[in-house]
Chain A
Amino acid sequence: MTIQPDSSPAFADFAHPERLVSTDWLAGQLGTPGLVVVESDEDVLLYETGHIEGAVKVDWHTELNDPVTRDYVDGEAFAALLSEKGIARDDTVVIYGDKNNWWAAYALWVFTLFGHADVRLLDGGRARWEAEGRPYTTALPARPRTEYPVIDRDDRTVRAFKDEVLAHLGKSMIDVRSPEEYSGERTHMPNYPEEGALRGGHIPGAKSVPWARAVAEDGTFKPRAELEKIYLDDAGLGANDEVIAYCRIGERSAHTWFVLTHLLGFDNVRNYDGSWTEWGSAVRVPIVRGTEPGLVPAL
């Protein structure tokens, strides 16, 4: 690692405390060579209204997705993006964002697909930075271009596709959407179809744990003991389980992937980014409605 981890006692209990930094730590490290701060928000204009000094913006919608195929950018496009942002392969990247780091965690997961080694989340994200009265600037950073290498995206380790989810039925699965989406009660509002799925419900056997349960009131992650109660005791997951997490398009479940992998130390968690927008519209895949995980059909 290029830059020493944040050794705050608050993170010491987590499986990989080096994946989190506190606002205090970040404020003290700003400007350190080898550190790049990245903002990634749900609201794509928020960065422009003010951001942490020196932070570059990564737009999840226009920069991390392929513009045509439903997929992430490939190795060449990722290399071009990071070179343009002035991020080097061995830089320490700290990502933060709005809405409990929802999209920040998603960006971190995409960085992971490309094996960027040292990528961390700012615990509490924008909300905590603001609550502490820390400053923002609208000045755009001028980072010199880098030559980020072209890395093949690894789609096997932390990513799952629909066929793999089908083969995974009966093993641990976690649905991180709202209870209404899980039960199938809510597929769309009258007259206003949402980001589309044709059927409501959840993947058979998936347990419901809405993603934001991992977050405390102040926007930081809950302590390990509380997270273990939620994911191990209540949802019945085991740290050695193979787990697949999903939501609507894979963003909220990237947040849960971060919690299970980096905070609780699960070593085999994959994010199904096709998620409900794919599963809920696919032909002849099994679906369960209601509040129970339901039976896994023999296929």
Chain B
Amino acid sequence: MSGALDEIREEFLAIEQRERLQLLLEFSNELPALPERYVDHPDLLERVEECQSPVFIFTEVDDDSRVHLHVTAPREAPTTRGFASILAQGLDGLRVDEVLAVPDDYPLTIGLTDAVSPLRLRGMTAMLGRIKRQVREKTAA
């Protein structure tokens, strides 16, 4: 599994429940804005239907088979933004095979199951599932 995702998990597990939400909030604030070149291309963005808030993802695979992930999520949905940001930071720059090897249950392993509702965490699992599917589609050709 990817080093960055491992590190993020360790970071969460090392602290207490209450602080984990605070850390999730920090991730939420760090979600990068959509790069300028995609702002006018809503067609590229796929809605994550499983999230209650409007969340959109778009993955790119570059010439070196490295994956780049772009996500938009509204300010009023900081939890969802936090999840998106963890994935964006954890997956960005990984090789295709590394992204596909991330366990599907990663969202359940970062110590948030007691702090956040199951439905929310499923939203993150769904995001990961859609990211992997997009990566598969983009490398199938």
Contacts and interface: CB of A to CB of B under 8 A. Distances in A.
Interface of A: 42-46, 48-49, 61-62, 67, 98, 189, 191-195
Given A43-B76, A49-B25, 10 more contacts: A44-B79, A44-B115, A45-B79, A48-B78, A62-B114, A189-B126, A192-B50, A192-B129, A195-B117, A195-B122
B52 interface: yes
B76 A98 contact: yes
B126 A192 contact: yes
A228 B2 CA distance: 57
A42 B75 CA distance: 14
Contacts of A189: 49-50, 126
A43 B78 contact: yes
Contacts of B114: 62, 67
Contact of B50 (A43, A98, A194): A194
B62 to A, nearest CB: 27
A42 B52 contact: yes
A43 B80 contact: yes
Contacts of A193: 122
Given A42-B52, A189-B50, A192-B50, A49 B78 contact: yes
**B interface SS class:** helix
Nearest to B27: A45
B126 A44 contact: no
Nearest to B28: A45
A43 B122 contact: no
Nearest to A46: B78
Interface string B61-103: 0000000000000011111101000000000000000000000
Given A191-B129, A194-B50, A45 B21 contact: yes
Nearest to A126: B76
21 contacts: A42-B52, A44-B21, A44-B115, A44-B120, A45-B82, A46-B76, A46-B79, A48-B21, A48-B78, A61-B115, A61-B117, A62-B17, A67-B114, A189-B49, A189-B126, A192-B126, A193-B122, A195-B117, A195-B118, A195-B119, A195-B122
A-B CB proximity, top 8 nearest: A45-B78, A195-B119, A45-B79, A192-B126, A43-B79, A61-B117, A192-B50, A48-B25
A249 to B, nearest CB: 9
B135 interface: no
Contacts of A43: 53, 76-80
